[in-house]
Amino acid sequence: MFGHVPEPYHLWDIDHHGANQKNGGICFSNRLRCFLKGVAQLPDLYKCHAAEEFIGWGQVRLGPIQWTTGPLPDNPDDINGLIATPNLPVSKELLVCMPQLMVISAYGVGYDYIDIEAASELGILVTHTPGAVVQATAELGLGLILASIRHIVKQDRAIRHTALQPGSAEFPPPVLSHDASSRIIGLIGYGRIGRRLGSLLHALNIPFVYHRRSGPLDNHRGYRSLPSLLNEADIVVLVTPLTAETYHLIDAEALTQMKATAVLINIGRGACVDEKALIQALMSKQIGGAALDVYENEPQIPPELIGMDNVILSPHAGTQTWETRLSMTEDAVGNVVAALEGHPRNTINSQSWGRRPG
């Protein structure tokens, strides 16, 4: 089939674990076939731009496309493909200045920093990388759940404080927690990440219920209406994208429906929670605590949250693993290449795609 993969196109994702020997040769993954096909077929005409040189960038950058990275050039009118991040938001004003733009890939699963309506009006395809982020984000969610139940961060703070006291020779007084299996986890949002987190909880014998806007899933027990979930769960985990329907989904009213001992965890999008209402609920002890990986006005974090010892703060780290970022880079570049080949994938607005190659 293929002999040697030229060095610039040598990807780490050959059947996800390197070369797979089959019939005495190398069996390449479908993903790599797509890239090699792109190398062979894409004309040396397309100009594409990425917000930065992402992890693994040198391994997936394709020669037939002229890639630039970093801040957008002063005149982006000849760019055909774009990889965007929250640090390179895509507004209608920007899109109007890019008459040759055919495809955008969000670097990640979220795309609320891209004006989808404007892109659709202009016939520009928008894609994202939903598959790449699932495992790492679910793992972080599980970590925050366990840290909240077992007071791991609070215990860390306590032992550091005690150890710094002159003459200290004892551990701080014990703070009893609960077995995780005795708690009920409520997952709000039950897409790929929510279901993966559910499978991790199931493997640890931790019971959970879930809510999704479109109702229960076949063969997935435990569906609850949102009010029922908020009333029942000891740990409420938001795993939702940011849309018009999910903006401030957890507001002051929703917080009143939670248990006084409940903890709110957000690994979805910051603006899905009314941050001011959350701060008030925490200060008044209306709920027991929070663990947040995302914030309403990132990267700003309200000082009230920083000063609370019943709040765990994480710097939007859901996808911050080497493996996940490598996959995100591959998928984002692959989205652009696939669209320019005329075979779009991971699309958000395919029905509005008017600016097509050729």
CA distance linking residue 327 with residue 53, whole number of Å:
14
* 171 DSSP assignment: P
Strands 47-50 and 81-84: parallel
C-alpha separations of 182 from 97, 138, 204, 287, 324 in Å: 56, 20, 11, 19, 31
Active-site residue, from 31, 150, 316, 355: 316
Strands 25-27 and 20-22: antiparallel
Tokens of 13: 């994702």
Contact 51, 108 (CB under 8 A): no
Q: Is 298 a residue of the active site?
A: yes
Closest CA to 105 of 330, 351, 293, 356: 330
Beta strands in the chain (DSSP E): 20-22, 25-27, 47-50, 66-69, 81-84, 103-106, 125-127, 185-188, 208-211, 235-238, 263-266, 289-292, 311-313
Active-site residue, from 128, 212, 269, 325: 269
Active-site residue, from 161, 220, 298, 356: 298
Closest CA to 286 of 322, 257, 319: 257
Which class for 287: exposed (0-12), middle (13-18), buried (19 or more C-beta within 10 A)? buried
Q: In what order do the strands lie in the sheet with 103-106?
A: 66-69, 47-50, 81-84, 103-106, 125-127
Closest CA to 146 of 101, 177, 171, 109: 177
Q: Is 269 a residue of the active site?
A: yes
| Rg over CA atoms, the chain | 23
CA distance linking residue 338 with residue 204, whole number of Å:
39
Q: Helices (H), strands (E): how many in the chain? A: 12, 13
User: What positions carry a catalytic annotation?
Assistant: 269, 298, 316
